[in-house]
A and B are shown apart, each in its own frame.
Chain A
Amino acid sequence: MASLQEPLWLLENGNLKGPNKEIRHHGRTAHNKSSSSLRKKSDLTLVSKVRCGLLRQFLTNLQEVFLGTKLSVLFPAIPLAVLAQSYGFAREWVFALSLLGLTPLAERVSFLTEQLACYTGPTVGGLLNATCGNATELIIAIFALSQHKIDVVKYSLLGSVLSNLLLVLGTSLFCGGIANLRKEQKYDRRQADVNSLLLLLGLLCHSLPLLFRLAGAAPTAETTDPTLQLSRASSIVMLIAYLSYLVFQLFTHRQLFEAQEESEDEDGVSEEEPVIGFWSGLIWLIGMTAVISLLSEYVVGTIEDASSSWGISVSFISIILLPIVGNAAEHAGAIIFAFKNKLDISLGVALGSATQISMFVVPLCVIVSWIMGIKMDLNFNLLETGSLALSIIAVAFTLQDGTSHYMKGLVLLLLYIVIGACFFLSQTPLNQANSGLKIPPETIFRV
């Protein structure tokens, strides 16, 4: 049909390729750009054979959403996971299949958020991305809270921060350094500085309850635990900081965060026209979020069984495995942009994610648990907080000069491997009833 030809052409062509003009402020943060590199052009021939126009549009929509990513090979894992749960297969299979199913879903949610941002304008789009950018981690955390597995929450959020800071950033810098050995790699250090500063504030808010607890403040029976009060107050402080960061990023100092997209020839993902409609995008988003919730519930419910049957500690699964899954799409995107020597975007992805989790998701969980009456505090115990502190200091130091080379990436990667080894060997028993693990301090302070 000729009249429908043009919009259909746009729909069917998926993402327009070609040279990328200067990107308007569609709320496309570095986050969005990186995962967009995983998109692929939809195959038109399959759909164009369908006769009826409406059906064709629907199928195009479906194809766009489901097959528009290279990760869509993992989509079959979702029905398999649901099957495994309902037919009572071995629990670790449910766990593994749910994890695999979450990977493409996280990417699709990011895609849909970006599409919606094209309609809503840059500021709301940026806000949408700032809150939903880590939807998977947030949903897993809230489910773990509702099942009273507070240490799973803490571990998974900590692991997400560590994974973003060390693994994603390290592999990006490493691959980018190797691919651009001859060129000088520069990035704008002001963005990195702001993120490092926020992470240091988050570190302070985590350290205070830990030091408080180590200094011997025992909770008395009749009064509220002071560590808990302090954690709740600190969470409000962290949320205020995150709000100011959003105002800073989206309103007053926008120019610091604009991605450097002046000329781009091959990966021309100009997404100034959305490829699906607003309402269909919204419906898909809600649907996918519901599926993510379902899979997250499976994951949280079966984590102990998977741990005991595979012989790996729960801390390792929460800190290392879960975040790798949740971050897979961003990770791949960050590496691809680093290959092209566009380090600002890689840094924006990795640091922005880490800041979002540390300053938004973690305090939000504390506040949500306050509302739910669960005693979650910011005390992540000595080993975890120590790893976090050293990671933040290492990353802040690495990024403070504005240039990069592969050695920086290698060092960050090795840091991650060491921390991973540490948690692999840490066989502390899982204590679900109260607020977290206790590592006896005598063993640490003994000479």
Chain B
Amino acid sequence: MAELSYHVENGESNKGSMSKELWNNNGSGRTAQNLSTSLMRKKSDPMLVSNVRYEMLRNFLSNLQQVILGTKLAVLFPAIPLAIAADFYNFGRPWIFALSLLGLTPLAERVSFLTEQIAYYTGPTVGGLLNATCGNATELIIALFALYRNKIHVLKYSLLGSILSNLLLVLGTSLLCGGLANIKKEQRYDRKQADVNSLLLLLGLLCHMLPLMFRYAAAPGVLVADSTLQLSRASSIVMLVAYIGYIFFQLKTHRQIFESQEEDDEDEEKAVIGFWSGFSWLVGMTLIIALLSEYVVGTIEAASETWGISISFISIILIPIVGNAAEHAGAIIFAFKNKLDISLGVALGSATQISMFAVPLCVVVGWMMRVQMDLDFSLLETGCLALTIVVVAFTLQDGTSHYLKGVILCLCYTAIAACFFVHNVPAPLDQTSVKMGLKPPSAFSA
């Protein structure tokens, strides 16, 4: 018992610096995403707990400490009860929005930690699958709530913003910081992983552009809403098939391309919490995420009006920054250490997951719920996505990096953020007239 407590109390054996090569030892399904968020962990302080006498209580408290305090983001945890209190006592709705957003940040990171812990017990493949589906749990839950509330534009914007944030902001800051920190060394990464992700993103782009061009190409007067919807649903199935193929590629046949280059000393092969406790924590945290997401989706219009910022800006820029904060910090830290493969794996893997899994999943769920969600993200958004994917694919296709690449990607993100900042689209709440600022072609004015 003492030995077990010792392991549990010592928290994670890594001090946030380097990790050993993991794949060959027991292959615990640790993808780049898991590695990056592991940097946000900190070693739990055993002294506090060892004072408590009863072992069961001690285990429970260690468990609690491990889960709640095991991250540097734990300072934001008080925002969760505050958000619930704000909703209960009817504070200003923008406050509920802001507090919910703040509360989501550490929760997203904890879910990733718990997923990783569970992966130790289930083996590499299921662990990889778990990560592939739950890696972006926050975005997925927000999207499903928006779908449920029929706020299709919020849904589309937030998913698009997640992709843009991963491709430009996370990647750009990583390359910039890594380039500045390693200015004398040559920075290389394996371009095969980047190529696979770019290819999947291009497929996603095609699936988005087809309904858009379909709508534009229709002769005026012909109703195409039905055809675009059917096309979107078929394309979503195609995208899901592509994603399954990618998972198969990544976890089974071509695993070696995606192995992170971790030859250092520390190993995290021991899980720090038990399987069932991890599982119950995961379920509990997902419920809290669901609650906060419901607040976020419900109060977004009120926040937008009060703060004077357009809904598109909040959905495309603010919400993804919050949802991605932990991965973002991790990617930057790995770039500082010149381990670009991991940073790229985080950023590109997230973007691919959202583009090829979360978006078509929402279309399919919308199909089942009889909500008219299609893949037509309207001209401005699809144009931004197209140019982003082209710029990123071009940036990553030579296998080396320097800080100017990071600067350019960050500036691209700034330009897109400025675009959506000035984009004042009225937010229709009923689903039939959701055009996101797209007027019919006959009304073009300049």
Contact = CB atoms under 8 A, between A and B. Distances in A.
A447 B219 contact: yes
A421 interface: no
A230 B398 contact: no
Interface string B374-387: 00001110011001
B442 A393 contact: no
B225 interface: no
B446 A213 contact: yes
A443 B438 CA distance: 18
Contacts of A241: 407-408, 411
A445 B217 contact: yes
A156 B443 CA distance: 30
A283 interface: no
B423 interface: yes
Contacts of B216: 445
A411 interface: no
Nearest to B417: A233
Interface string B417-443: 011001110000000000001110111
Contacts of B219: 446-447
Contacts of B411: 201, 237-238, 240-241
B394 A197 contact: yes
B85 interface: no
Interface string A90-119: 000000000000000000000000000000
Candidate in B216, B397, B444 with the most chain A CB atoms within 10 angstroms: B444
B390 A393 contact: yes
B407 to A, nearest CB: 5
Interface string A193-214: 1101110110111011001111
Given A213-B446, A215-B379, A447-B217, A204 B402 contact: no
B444 A216 contact: yes
Is the contact region of chain A dominated by helix, strand, or loop, or is it mixed? helix
A215 B378 contact: yes
B395 A197 contact: yes
Contacts of A201: 391, 408, 411-412, 415
A215 B437 contact: yes
A413 to B, nearest CB: 23
A244 interface: yes
B381 to A, nearest CB: 9
A343 to B, nearest CB: 18
A393 B387 CA distance: 11
A403 interface: no
A142 B299 CA distance: 49
Interface residues of A, number: 47
A211 B445 contact: no
A201 B384 CA distance: 12
Given A213-B446, A217-B437, A245-B404, A204 B415 contact: yes
Contacts of A218: 445
A198 to B, nearest CB: 7
A205 to B, nearest CB: 5
Nearest to A401: B398
Candidate in A211, A215, A241, A400 with the most chain B CB atoms within 10 angstroms: A215
Given A193-B398, A244-B407, A252-B183, A230 B418 contact: yes
Contacts of A200: 387, 390-391, 394, 408
A237 B419 contact: no
Interface string A231-249: 0011001101100110010
Contact of B444 (A252, A440, A446): A440
A56 to B, nearest CB: 49
Interface in A310-354: none
Interface string A172-209: 00000000000000000110011011101101110110
A441 interface: yes
Contacts of A248: 402-404
Contact of A230 (B397, B403, B422): B422
B172 to A, nearest CB: 11
Contacts of B93: none
Contacts of A436: 446
A319 B16 CA distance: 57
B404 A244 contact: yes
A248 B408 CA distance: 12
Nearest to A205: B415
B153 interface: no
A221 to B, nearest CB: 13
B444 A229 contact: no
Nearest to A193: B398
Candidate in A213, A237, A253 with the most chain B CB atoms within 10 angstroms: A237
B404 A237 contact: no
A438 interface: yes
Nearest to B215: A445
A56 B180 CA distance: 54
Contacts of A194: 404
Nearest to A208: B419
B405 interface: yes
B416 interface: yes
Contact of A234 (B378, B404, B415): B415
A155 B252 CA distance: 54
Given A200-B391, A400-B398, A447-B217, A237 B415 contact: yes
Nearest to B378: A215
Interface string A151-176: 00000000000000000000000000
A29 to B, nearest CB: 17
B439 A216 contact: yes
A122 interface: no
Contacts of B418: 230, 233-234, 237
B223 to A, nearest CB: 15
B384 to A, nearest CB: 7
A204 B410 CA distance: 13
Nearest to B213: A445
B444 A441 contact: yes
Interface of A: 189-190, 193-194, 196-198, 200-201, 203-205, 207-208, 211-218, 226, 229-230, 233-234, 237-238, 240-241, 244-245, 248, 252-253, 393, 396, 400, 436, 438, 440-442, 445-447
Return the 5 tightest CB-CB contacts between A and B, nearest first: A216-B439, A226-B422, A233-B418, A211-B383, A208-B419
Given A208-B380, A447-B219, 16 more contacts: A197-B405, A200-B387, A203-B387, A204-B388, A204-B391, A204-B412, A204-B415, A208-B384, A230-B422, A234-B418, A238-B411, A244-B404, A245-B404, A438-B446, A442-B442, A445-B217
5 contacts: A208-B419, A211-B383, A217-B423, A234-B418, A400-B397
